[in-house]
Amino acid sequence: MNEWNFSKEEALLETEDLTIAYGNEPVLKGINMKVYPNEIVGIVGESGSGKSTLARAIMNLLPRGAIKFSGEIYFEGRKLSQLKKKEWQRLRGNEIAMIFQNPSGYLNPIRRVGSQFIESIRAHQKITAADAEEIAKKTLIKMNLKDPHRVMKSYPFQLSGGMNQRVAIAMATAMAPQLVIADEPTSALDVITQRIIIDEMKNLRDKENTSILMITHHIACAASFADRIIVMKSGRIVEEGTAEIVTKNPLNSYTRSLLESIPRMRKG
Ligand SMILES: Nc1ncnc2c1ncn2[C@@H]1O[C@H](COP(=O)(O)OP(=O)(O)OP(=O)(O)O)[C@@H](O)[C@H]1O
């Protein structure tokens, strides 16, 4: 049992009646969802359905003063609203890591990738710079960056967008956090690299028991990756279930329309 008295039978992450508004109209309306240990959950829905707001709310990255927020978020049974600044620093990166659609918010443009990566590892683990460099290079190789030495020596602007995104994913996953929240992490990557990244994230789950909350527009992508799918529309959860049931036997007409759009896109 850890310091938070968390039992592994419980959800790792849970939202309770989470409602968030930027103005008067809520963009999340009473969201109740859970992610269990060692589970991959896909959140799908059209643009504007509130997926990113949900991810940022979990990471406490919303401008609290500028939003209306009600409900609660629990991580390992603990109310996140009660965490102090220091506890948030430990939680982010160590226990929950987020991968954004665009790595530019993550990487400092005027520092070499290697020093940023080594520093981020050493912020979470008491090891030498040489050991941190070893971990960083191994993680970069896993992300199909075949020349980790060159990547470590480069500034972000010397790498392609897809390479920077893989660096960001490597940095987020190097410490094997308990939960990775990935917001459209592979949308800027070519299909082969997408497959490698997805397989690597599955590996992380299998080897380190990391849970993954993956946000995507594409229900087909979620179906190939997730154990469970949550479908969101206009700030509400309209359907959820195992990936197999949701894709083979969807109950909601919106889920059916997402599924029907897959062959239409291929034909176009
Ligand atoms: N900082 C903000 N200020 C005001 N409104 C916002 C802000 N961020 C998001 N919104 C609004 O909240 C709603 C939900 O946006 P959100 O980005 O969470 O949706 P999404 O499902 O992630 O969309 P996408 O797939 O396009 O990223 C949208 O109507 C959006 O315009």
The highest-level CATH class for domain 13-261 is alpha beta
Give distance in angstroms: CA of 47 to centre of ligand 1.
8
How far apart CA 182 and CA 1 sit, in angstroms, is: 28
pLDDT, tens digit, 9 for 90 and up, residues 46-89: 889 999 999 999 999 888 777 888 999 999 999 999 999 889 98
Question: What's the pLDDT at 131?
Answer: 96
Give distance in angstroms: CA of 52 to centre of ligand 1.
7
Which residue's structure tokens are 């709310």?
Answer: 57
pTM above 0.90, yes or no: no
Q: Which of 109, 101, 226 lies closest to 172, judged by CA?
A: 101
pLDDT at 1 over 80: no
Question: What's the pLDDT at 3?
Answer: 45
What residue type is assigned to position 69 of the chain? F
Closest residue CA from atom 10 of ligand 1: 22
Which residue among 24, 27, 61 has the greatest number of ligand 1 atoms within 8 angstroms of its CB, and so is best to mutate? 27
* Domain boundaries, given as residue ranges, for the chain: 13-261
Which residue among 15, 18, 22, 232 has the greatest number of ligand 1 atoms within 8 angstroms of its CB, and so is best to mutate? 22
Backbone angles phi and psi of 9, in degrees to 5: -75, -20
pLDDT, tens digit, 9 for 90 and up, residues 110-123: 999 999 999 999 98
pLDDT at 4 over 60: no
Give distance in angstroms: CA of 216 to centre of ligand 1.
14
Q: Which of 143, 142, 138 lies closest to 118, judged by CA?
A: 138
